[in-house]
Amino acid sequence: VQLVESGGGSVEAGGSLRLSCATSGFTYSSYTVGWFRQAPGKEREGVAAITMDGLTPYTDSVKGRFTISKDSDENTLYLQMNELKPEDTATYYCAASADRLAALWGWREPSRYPYWGQGTQVTVSS
């Protein structure tokens, strides 16, 4: 299983970015895939996921602003981020898990994801 993120960058508050995660080695129907972020000095947090059952949970702070999606034919996971805020500044990671519990209440728990990309930096200036 491999995951490679791209699309990070620096934007002003209110701007948009789309992150991409090229995946290989698994099928989306059998894995939960998610986006996480980690700001300096903070714990890694779950941002959004697409569970193996097709559900799309989001953390409260990004609801209505971020959209997670996937292109199964292209084996790519996306995170469209609109109305960006300075507090969205972080390194963003995509991750994958075949753990059934990650598809349920555990989607936001980094420990349930054994496969990770290298991360891409997102910086939002005020």
Per-residue model confidence (pLDDT) at position 84: 98
Residues of the chain with pLDDT under 70: none
Per-residue model confidence (pLDDT) at position 104: 79
Provide, for the chain, the percentages of residues in helix, strand and coil under a 3-state DSSP scheme, each rounded to the nearest 5. Answer: 15, 45, 40
State pLDDT tens for residues 40-66: 999 999 999 999 999 999 999 999 999
Among 41, 35, 37, which Cα is nearest to 20's?
35
The strand pair at 45-50 and 17-24 is best described as unpaired
Per-residue model confidence (pLDDT) at position 103: 79
Task: To the nearest 10°, report the CA torsion of 33, 38, 44, 48.
Answer: -30
Per-residue model confidence (pLDDT) at position 86: 98
Per-residue model confidence (pLDDT) at position 70: 97
Q: Is 60 left (phi over 0), alpha (psi -120 to 50) or beta?
A: alpha
Q: Do residues 18 and 36 lie in contact, with contact meaning Cβ atoms separated by under 8 Å?
A: no
Per-residue model confidence (pLDDT) at position 102: 75
Per-residue model confidence (pLDDT) at position 105: 82
